[in-house]
Amino acid sequence: MKVMAFNGSPRKQNNTAILLEKALEGAAAKGAETELIHLYDLNFKGCISCFACKTRGGKSYGRCAVEDALAPVFRKIEEAGAIILGSPIYYGAVTGEMKSFMERLLYPYSTYTNPPQTLFPKKIKTGFIYTMNTSESALQERGYLQYAEYHKAALQKTYGASEYLCSCDTYQFEDYAKVVADRFDPVKKARTHKEVFPKDCEKAYALGARLAEKLE
C-alpha cells in the first residue's frame, strides 16, 4: 500500500520537508510504498467554485472537474492507503499553496446532505505536520491547536482517522547574522534545533509508521 506526503513549504530541504521525509521513512519501515510531492512544483489553483463536483447527475459529481496538475494527484490519492500533509505556519495559517491544495482535496468529496457525508470511495489514514516559529507553550494561546484540530476534524470527516504533529520554535535561517531578525535569539534557536528538532523527527517517523501499520 502507498503512503503519500505533500510538502506545502516552498523549501524542499528544510524543516517541513525533513519531517515529511522522516514520516515516509517510518511508513517505509512498515512496508509501505512512499511518495513525496512538493506542491510548489505543481501548477494549480484553489477551488474555482464551479460546483461541478456538486451537480446532481453530473459527470464530475464527487470529483474535482478541473484538469490541471492536481488531477493525476487526486487519482493517486484514491489509490493510496494514507496521506500526510505538511506546511509551515505563515501569519497564523498554512501556506497559500497548502490552503489551495486543501480546498481541492476536501471540497469535492464533501456533501451538502443532511447530515453531511463523504464521497471519498474508502477510508484512509491522514496526518498533518506543522512547523512554526511559535514556542510550544504559546500554541494554545495563539489558537494553533484549535486550528490543527479543525483540520483534523475536516480530514476525519472526509477520509478517516487523522492525527497531527506540531514542530515548534524551528530554525528558520542558516545564518541569523545575515538577516534582520532581532526578535529571535540565534543561540537559543540553534540549541532548540540541535536538541528538540531531532525529537520531532522521531515523532514524525513514528507518525508515519502508525499510519502505515494500519493499512491493509
122-150: burial string, b at 16+ Cβ within 10 Å, e else: eebbbbbbbbbbbeeeebeeeebeebbee
Q: What is the pLDDT of residue 215?
A: 58
For the stretch 66-123, pLDDT in tens is 999 999 999 999 999 999 999 999 999 999 999 999 999 999 999 999 999 999 999 9
User: In sequence order, what are the beta bridge partners of 83?
Assistant: 4, 126
Q: What mean pLDDT, rounded, does the chain reach?
A: 95
Q: Count CB neighbours of 50 within 10 A.
A: 12
For the stretch 152-164, pLDDT in tens is 999 999 999 999 9
Query: What is the average pLDDT across 186-201?
Result: 94
Dist. CA 25–CA 56, nearest whole Å: 42
Q: What letter would DSSP give residue 9?
A: S
pLDDT of residue 214 exceeding 80 = no
What is the domain range of residue 192?
A: 2-213
Cis check: omega of the bond before 88, within 30 degrees of 0: no
CA pseudo-torsion sign 54, 57, 63, 64 = negative
Number of domains in the chain: 1
Banded pLDDT at 1 (limits 50, 70, 90): confident
* 49's grid cell: 467554485
For the stretch 4-26, pLDDT in tens is 999 999 999 999 999 999 999 99
Q: What is the pLDDT of residue 62?
A: 95
Q: Using alpha carbons, select from 143, 134, 130 the residue that is nearest to residue 200.
A: 130
SS3 115: coil
Output the domain CATH number for residue 111.
3.40.50.360
pLDDT of residue 127 exceeding 80 = yes
Q: What is the DSSP string of 136-168?
A: GGGTTTTTHHHHHHHHHHHHHHHTS-EEEEEE-
pLDDT of residue 216 exceeding 90 = no
For the stretch 20-64, pLDDT in tens is 999 999 999 999 999 999 999 999 999 999 999 999 999 999 999
